[in-house]
Homo-oligomer: A and B are copies of this chain.
Amino acid sequence: MNIPQSKNPRIVIIGGGFAGIALAKQLKNKGVQVVLLDQHNYHNFQPLLYQVATGGLEAGSIAYPIRKVIQEYDDFYFRLTSVQEIDTTNKKIIAEIGELTYDYLVIATGSKTNFFGNKEIKRHSMSMKTIPQALNIRSFILENFEQAVLTTDVVEQNSLINFVLVGGGPTGVELAGALAEMKKAILQKDYPDLDISRMQINLIQSGDRILNTMSEKSSAAAEQFLVDLGVKIWKNVRVTNYDGRTVTTNSDLVFDTATVIWTAGVQGAVVAGLNADALVERVERIRVNAYNQVKGYEDIFAIGDIASMDSLDFPDGHPMMAQPAMQQGTLLGKNIIRLIANKQMEPFSYNDKGSMATIGRNKAVVDLPNYHFSGVFAWFVWMFVHLFSLIGFKNKAVVFLNWVYNYIRFDREGRLIIRPFKKRSFTTFTTDEI
């Protein structure tokens, strides 16, 4: 991997998400060698992915080059690669681009979509965890409309402009709201030869309320906002299969649709090589102690979505969100330096700053620890929190400018189908083709 041996202990970080970047920043010029590995050469601001998918923002506005983050850091290396395996005995990782030994290893690989073992759903539906996936969803939505204008077959048309979102968490809810805004403000004008009122947005939630990690008040407000926007919400419904044409559920409900976006579950993106009892089955997260140390190892840590820290408040681990990830990354940076200096590490304690979700124009719900509110003010809060959380002045400015423009003009100009358009035969399709 061509990393020079230095006098400093080597810390290898796998993953440049919220957790990995927070850790990297903390380790800047602290007398350690750091090697940061990621499959992408950019950090991606996941909370705004749904806006890339719906044409509100360009991908470049919510991504930031990792090499730029670490430009001024001494003894700091970035390598673009995926990691196949950890060899804990020889203290090395095995990556696509070669092997590398570590003194300390930090797993910050985040999470990926969980299809709960259903291969057919995985094959036919789309997920939205990465920028390429968000761009694919964007192209795919627009392709559906380009395809729909070509036919007079009403059944085919309905299927092409029927969108089924599975999962009523923040991603599903924000995507549903954005799609509803697209329907109202853009698609109507862009496709005058299509009856856009027939476009359906169906949001399917297995539980009895959407946004079930938020307060009941916020759930109810979000639900009302979505209903007002014309989104159909199906609660207490579980999707059992999707064959590329029809979604079946545990009830009589079926949906004929060309598009299923699956946000119904996440699981840790584990790397092979750890002891079995370090892993939490089903959700594939890695068990860590209060110092983010992986169960059974002194020199391996896990932070962010991948880490499942058993605590009194969070018996199943912290929520898989940016806040715990960043806080764990920052603390671990300090703790590793303490560990090297033979000092006592500090246990993690999550500072819950609240959570929020936006549901289209002028509408959002915000849960602060002791206060819940929704509506226009919540929407402003949502915007400013997200704006200031973006890395880099230029991204902030460009996103701000886009939002102001989109707001004033009722528009979203990111409607480019970048990949080659092929007319599909109206049978089933797989996401492999995309």
Identify the A interface with B (CB < 8 A). Answer: 1-2, 4, 39-42, 58-61, 63-65, 67-68, 71, 77, 79-81, 96-98, 131-132, 135, 142-143, 146, 149-152, 189-191, 193, 392-395, 397-398, 401-402, 405, 409, 411, 413-423
**A61 CB contacts on chain B under 8 angstroms:** 58
Closest to A419 in B: B132
Q: Do A98 and B150 touch (CB < 8 A)? A: yes
Q: Do A142 and B423 touch (CB < 8 A)? A: no
Q: Do B417 and A40 touch (CB < 8 A)? A: yes
Residue in B77, B143, B392, B420 whose CB lies within 8 Å of A413: B392
Chosen A-B contacts, 15 in total, with CB atoms closer than 8 Å, are A2-B150, A2-B151, A40-B417, A42-B415, A42-B416, A58-B58, A59-B418, A60-B416, A80-B143, A80-B146, A96-B423, A132-B418, A394-B411, A395-B413, A398-B398
**A402 CB contacts on chain B under 8 angstroms:** 394, 398
Q: Shortest beta-carbon distance, A58 to chain B, in Å?
A: 4
**Those 5 A-B pairs whose CB atoms lie nearest each other, nearest first:** A58-B60, A67-B190, A65-B415, A80-B146, A394-B405
Q: Shortest beta-carbon distance, A401 to chain B, in Å?
A: 6
A64 to B191, CA, bound (A): 16
Beyond A2-B152, A79-B149, 19 additional pairs, beta carbon < 8 A: A4-B193, A39-B421, A41-B415, A42-B416, A58-B58, A58-B60, A58-B61, A60-B414, A64-B413, A65-B190, A65-B413, A67-B190, A67-B191, A79-B146, A132-B419, A394-B401, A395-B413, A397-B401, A398-B402
A64 to B411, CA, bound (A): 13
Closest to A60 in B: B58
Residue in B63, B64, B71 whose CB lies within 8 Å of A190: B71
**A411 CB contacts on chain B under 8 angstroms:** 68, 394
Q: Shortest beta-carbon distance, A358 to chain B, in Å?
A: 21
A370 to B429, CA, bound (A): 59
Q: Shortest beta-carbon distance, A158 to chain B, in Å?
A: 15
**A79 CB contacts on chain B under 8 angstroms:** 146, 149-150
A67 to B193, CA, bound (A): 12
Q: Do B41 and A421 touch (CB < 8 A)? A: yes
Q: Do B2 and A63 touch (CB < 8 A)? A: no
**A392 CB contacts on chain B under 8 angstroms:** 413
Q: Do B71 and A421 touch (CB < 8 A)? A: no
Q: Do A417 and B80 touch (CB < 8 A)? A: yes
**A2 CB contacts on chain B under 8 angstroms:** 149-152, 193
Q: Shortest beta-carbon distance, A237 to chain B, in Å?
A: 34
A304 to B124, CA, bound (A): 42
A159 to B3, CA, bound (A): 21
Q: Do B189 and A416 touch (CB < 8 A)? A: no
Q: Shortest beta-carbon distance, A15 to chain B, in Å?
A: 15
A419 to B414, CA, bound (A): 19
A79 to B423, CA, bound (A): 11
Q: Do A405 and B423 touch (CB < 8 A)? A: no
